[in-house]
Amino acid sequence: MSTLYLKADKETISKYVIFSGDPWRVEMLQKLLDDPKHIAFNREFNTYTGTYHGIPVTISSTGIGAPSAAIAMEELYDCGMEVAIRMGTVMGLKDGMLGKLLIPNGSMRMESTSDTYVPKSFPAVANIDLVNCMNRSVTMNGREYINGITCTMDGFYSQMRESRLSKKMDTDILKTFDDISRYNISGVDMETSCMLVLGSLMDIKVCSVTMTTVLKNLKEVLQGEARTKSEEDLCKIVLDGIEIYHKGGNGIG
């Protein structure tokens, strides 16, 4: 029987799953797989399963934000997922981050979906073995990475980007960044902390691999060919990281 939203089942899903927020980035990623099979595209969830250098891999989208990411995690966990990697973009809060990979060790929980599972004192932490494997893959692919702490929020236009409404309501978006920068936060996204919490509860391996495509309040943005190349590199980095992990490498050295 297939799951409610992703229309997946235990026969079609690999133990290795890559989650991308953007359904169309999944289309980019599936081109790197051998013999990809399209499982379904329902609502914001676009799912394929194929192989990468002989390793079965499932890729699926989550859409934007923690609520739909939690649905994707829950349903693919029901299908036997054992390793989950969020692959996406992040807003960097420090100068010099544009175009670099941010692979957090943990994330500050300012989203509310994980609160429906655990109290705020429960940590959102990544699996260190996966993080090390992804670090190694970044280096192998000629990119630079940062390990640190990210922050996951719910409101894009209410917390992360000025808008007509935020100005009308006199919402100080920049104060949001100033407040969390005191905690040495490296970047902000809308999914990571929830996915890390769920991974811990599920007792599976989980991490987040993100490309810095914008700096705070979009003061610098990766565009054009640089953006396309960065997203292509991101896809290969995550797949190579899975291969390193699958072969037993801890990513150190």
19-67 pLDDT, tens digit each: 999 999 999 999 999 999 999 999 999 999 999 999 999 999 999 999 9
85-132 pLDDT, tens digit each: 999 999 999 989 999 999 999 999 999 999 999 999 999 999 999 999
Question: SS3 of 128, please?
Answer: helix
How much of the chain, in percent, has pLDDT values that exceed 90? 92
The amino acid at 130: L
Query: Alpha-carbon distance 248 to 253, whole Å?
Result: 13
58 token code pair: 């499932």
Q: Length of the chain, please?
A: 253
C-alpha of 75 from chain center: 17
Domains and CATH numbers, the chain: 16-246 (3.40.50.1580)
The pLDDT, as a whole number, for residue 250 is: 53
Query: Alpha-carbon distance 36 to 171, whole Å?
Result: 46
- Please give the sequence-ordered ranges of beta strands (E in DSSP) within 93-241, or none if there are none: 101-102, 106-110, 145-146, 149-153, 185-189, 205-215
221-240 pLDDT, tens digit each: 999 999 999 999 999 999 99
- Please give the sequence-ordered ranges of beta strands (E in DSSP) within 93-162, or none if there are none: 101-102, 106-110, 145-146, 149-153
pTM over 0.85? The answer is yes
49 token code pair: 């399963």
Query: Alpha-carbon distance 31 to 11, whole Å?
Result: 21
